[in-house]
Amino acid sequence: MEPKLLKGTALELEDFKRGKVFVVNDNPVAEYAWDCGVAVGRYLSELKSGRIMGRTCYGCSRTMLPPRMFCERCFRPTDEWAIVQDTGVINTFSLCYITWDMKKLKDPEIPAVIEIEGASKGMGILHLIGGCDPRRVKVGMKVRAVWRPEKERVGAITDIQYWTPIR
């Protein structure tokens, strides 16, 4: 099928480099500081200390991860902080051969949802699988967190480098 001819001027990167057309380049500074709130603030500071922190609601007996101050099922504030383990089970995963900015990867990144032991069933976080052959990765596989060294931890989810199979 013939491609539809669209009106307009087709331009390529080379045209900009050569100054073929007049162009205004702008790089506004879009810095932000997003307040974490009580729950995520505690979650991140516990990650810095090398712990994963959830929160329990007595009403429905769920331990939520990441923690939340409010239970959306019981419509009441949650009750207690609860440290959970740094082991879990793969719920789902993907082999990703491109980066976020569309560059090809030879070895895939493996994002996965990991259900974490100590939290309620189905409570999981999105993270990366690493330290193993991508072909080994299966739903249901038991994994444990590989933490960054203490002095490299900053209070971010990346304080866990990746999750790796428990042999």
Contact positions toward another protein, by CB under 8 A? 9, 11, 16, 21-38, 40-41, 44-45, 69-70, 77, 155-156
Residue 151 CA: distances (Å) to CA of 40, 74, 154, 155: 21, 40, 8, 11
- Residue 46 or residue 86: which is nearer to another protein going by CB? 46
Neighbours of 2 (CB within 10 A): 4
Backbone φ and ψ of 21, nearest 5°: -125, 160
- Residue 26 or residue 133: which is nearer to another protein going by CB? 26
Neighbours of 6 (CB within 10 A): 6
Cβ at position 41, least distance to another protein in Å = 3
Cβ at position 161, least distance to another protein in Å = 19
Three-state DSSP class for 122?
Answer: coil
- Residue 41 or residue 131: which is nearer to another protein going by CB? 41
Cβ at position 154, least distance to another protein in Å = 11
